[in-house]
Amino acid sequence: MTHWIFTCMRRFLVITLAFFLFCGNFPIQTAIALQGNQSSIKPYLDRVVKQLTEFTLDNGLKFIVLERHQAPVVSFLTYANVGGIDEPDGQTGVAHFLEHLAFKGTKRIGTTNYKAEKPLLDKLEQLDNQIRAAKSENRTEELEKLQKEFKTVEAQAGKLVKQNEMGQIVEQAGGVGLNANTSSEATRYFYSFPANKLELWMSLESERFLEPVFREFYKERDVILEERRMRVENSPVGLMVEKFTDVAFKVHPYRRPVIGYDEDIRNLSPANVREFFNKYYVPSNLTIAVVGDVNPNQVKRLAKIYFGRYPAKPKAQAKINPEPKQTSTREITVELPSQPWYLEGYHRPSITDPDNAVYDIISSLLSNGRTSRLYKSLIETQRVALVAEGISGFPGDKYPNLMLFYALTAPGHTVDKLAIALGQEITKLQTQLVSEKELERVKTQARAGLLRSLDSNMGMAQQLLEYEVKTGSWRNLFKQLDDITKVTPADIQRVAQSTFTAENRTIGKLLSQKS
């Protein structure tokens, strides 16, 4: 049962935090392995490197192909290097909205007659713009007329739709795990097929971003508003995390929710989505992983045929204002119908920083397992917490981000007591060198974690792309093991001292609302 509590609470929180890392079409969690290296796993990593091919099409679209012939299945992941942080002001949620609309089909998929459909979709957009104008100018009679016409045209357009046809094609062909997620800095589309359907994936996925049609826009907006209600407005923790992130970041767009603010979502238009798509879904901004029972030559040949159709376009770069250094403690307290939660965030550098491995190790030392510092002290000995962990890389890690600690109070204890206990553990890292034995344990766990992930096609696709896009090379997935091996107790102390300061701290308290 304790295990159940861990699993349940952790899943609960992980889902919420994962939500702030990713919004998906269905709830989904991703685990990113932390690593370390040693001789006994080297042959297995070398084998992966040997089985890996990469190529870039003329238009800039890069493919990473990893062969794994254990079973006749293949996993695919299309990674668009764009997310919440790239959204223009007032259009938060557009990256996630686009992710939803990418399931709506193309000129040929998802409709019975695009020729008839197109003018209706254009008309809908036109009416929508007129409705907005009428609303803002309070022309109520005209507004009513327009809304009535809108419903009629929407119904007409709806008749020409073959609902969710793309998803249905994938599933009927034996595809599994069809889904997508959006984070602050990436949008990922993925599914797996039996190995004989490679060309089907090529055809569907290339057509999907070649000539998408963002049909059923207005209904999907309702769906997204439901998603936001579910994840934020009706979730005390969801609400807490949204407010916390807003306080921890003053300038950098990490402060904004990936799902978007309610008002922004309601104001989004098809034109916004199209513009965002045209700007960011260019071949040089897309990277694709194909992992499983494939012949890389065949993958390359087909990739050229299908994805070679994309015209090369310049790679856009949103202007991301850097977060200024935090100079004093920030705090936010929220009262909601919930038992208490406690959050503490500390700014840390991005994934490409030379100290990245040190941060990963710190979060493992504090959080991983029953021998971790927080478990032993807060949960087992002092019993002030039910769960207490640290996450490194919140809400993203492409830019300087947060190491986020979260904890649930045990019955009869306050968040303030928790804060003190957490502070003690953090201080220990600053004042006492970590033992070699403990450090070795964490490094072993890291390398075992990477090893264990090698037998998952989709897991490998995710990890390889994460490193390829964010650090410039998939090889860093393995290189970071070396980095982790090199971390010394002195490094940990140094980083702990510079990071866990009062000036760098943001506190979040979710307290029970007095009913």
Partner 1 sequence: MVRSKKLKFSRNIFPKLGRTWQLFFAVVIALVLTLNFSRVATAAAKHYTDLQFNSLPGIKLPKYERFQLNNGLVVYLMEDHELPLVSGTTLIKTGSRWEAGDKVGLGDIVGSLMRIGGTNKHSPDELNEILEQRAASVETDINESTGTASFESLTEDLETVFGLFAEVLREPAFAPEKLELIKTQIKGSIARRNDDSDNIASREFRKLIYGQNSPYARTIEYATLDKIQREDVINFYRKYFHPNNIILGIVGDFNPKKMRSLIQTKLGDWQPNLNIAKTQLPPVQQANLSGLFFVNQPQLTQSSILMGHLGGKFNSPDYAALDVMNGVLNGFGGRLFNEVRSRQGLAYSVYGLWNPRFDYPGVFIAGGQTRSDATVQFIKSIQLEIERIQKQPVTAKELRYAKESTLNSFVFNFQDPGQTLSRLMRYEYYGYPADFLFRYQKAVTKTTAADVQRVAQKYLKPENLVTLVVGNQSAIQPPLTQLASKITPIDITIPGSQDTGSKIN
Q: Hey, which residues between 239 and 268 contact partner 1 (CB under 8 A)?
A: none
314 binds partner 1, rule: CB under 8 A: no
Task: Find the part of the chain contacting partner 1 (CB under 8 A) among 77-85, 157-165, 247-255, 485-493.
Answer: 157-165
Q: Give the residue with the Cβ less far from partner 1, 88 or 194.
A: 194
Contact range with partner 1 by CB under 8 A, out of 136-144, 246-254, 399-407, 441-449: 441-449
Q: Does 224 engage in binding with partner 1 (CB under 8 A)?
A: yes
Region from 421-429, 435-443, 465-473, 480-488 binding partner 1, contact rule CB under 8 A: 435-443
Q: Are 375 and 388 in contact (CB under 8 A)?
A: yes
- Subset of 448-467 contacting partner 1 (CB under 8 A): 448-449, 451-452, 454-455, 457
Of the candidates 200, 181, 190, which has an alpha carbon nearest to the alpha carbon of residue 456?
190
CA angle 29, 334, 424 (to 5 degrees): 75
DSSP label of 150? H
What are φ and ψ of residue 324, in 5° steps?
A: -70, 155
∠ CA 364-385-35, nearest 5°, is 10
Binders of partner 1 among residues 320 to 379 (CB under 8 A) are: 336-339, 368-371, 379
Give 245 or 445: the residue with its C-beta nearer to partner 1: 445
Please report the sign of the dihedral spanned by the C-alpha atoms of residue 91, residue 97, residue 98, residue 104. Answer: negative
Cβ distance to partner 1 smaller for residue 374 or 386: 386
Cα–Cα distance list, 387 to 7, 10, 31, 359 (Å): 10, 8, 18, 20
Residue of 11, 219, 250, 486 interacting with partner 1 (CB under 8 A)? 219
Q: Which of 11, 31, 42, 44 binds partner 1 (CB under 8 A)?
A: 44
Of the candidate spans 126-134, 228-236, 279-287, 391-399, the one that interacts with partner 1 by CB under 8 A turns out to be: 228-236
Among the candidate windows 78-86, 233-241, 343-351, 472-480, which touches partner 1 by CB under 8 A? 233-241
Burial tier of 388 (Cβ tally within 10 Å: 0-12, 13-18, 19+): buried
Residue 308 DSSP class = T
Whether 410 and 384 have beta carbons less than 8 Å apart is answered as yes
Phi, psi for residue 488 in degrees, rounded to 5: -110, 160
By CB under 8 A, tell whether 72 contacts partner 1.
yes
Q: How far apart are CA 388 and CA 404, in angstroms?
A: 11
* CB atoms inside a 10 Å sphere around CB 411: 7
Helix 165-172 and helix 198-210, axial crossing angle in degrees, nearest 10: 170
**Least CB distance to partner 1 at residue 203 (A):** 5
Q: Single out the segment in contact with partner 1 by CB under 8 A; choices: 120-128, 203-211, 342-350, 485-493.
A: 203-211
- Residue 13 near partner 1 by CB under 8 A: no
Phi, psi of 486 (to 5 degrees): -80, -10
Q: How far is the CB of 40 from partner 1 (least distance, A)?
A: 6
Position 227 contacts partner 1 (CB under 8 A) = yes
- State how far the Cα of 256 lies from the Cα of 93, in Å rounded to an integer: 9
Site membership for partner 1, residue 311 (CB under 8 A):
no
Please count the residues of this chain forming the interface with partner 1, following the rule CB under 8 A. 100
Residue 432 structure tokens: 């006492």
Q: Is residue 96 near partner 1 by the rule CB under 8 A?
A: no
- 117 touches partner 1 (CB under 8 A): no
Contacts of 40 (CB under 8 A, 6+ apart): none
118 contacts partner 1 (rule: CB under 8 A): no
CB of 8 to partner 1, least distance (A): 7
305 binding partner 1? (CB under 8 A): yes
CA 286 to chain CA centroid, nearest Å: 16
Could you tell me which stretch among 76-84, 354-362, 446-454, 494-502 binds partner 1 (CB under 8 A)?
Answer: 446-454
Contact 150, 127 (CB under 8 A): yes
Of positions 18, 41, 85, 146, contacts partner 1 by CB under 8 A:
41
Give the pair of three-digit tokens for residue 414: 């306050």
Scanning residues 408 to 427, which ones bind partner 1 (CB under 8 A)?
A: 408-411
Residues 114, 306, 342, 359: which binds partner 1 (CB under 8 A)? 306
DSSP string, 413-429: --HHHHHHHHHHHHHHH
Residues 466-505 that bind partner 1 (CB under 8 A): none
In the range 270-289, which residues lie near partner 1 by CB under 8 A? Answer: none
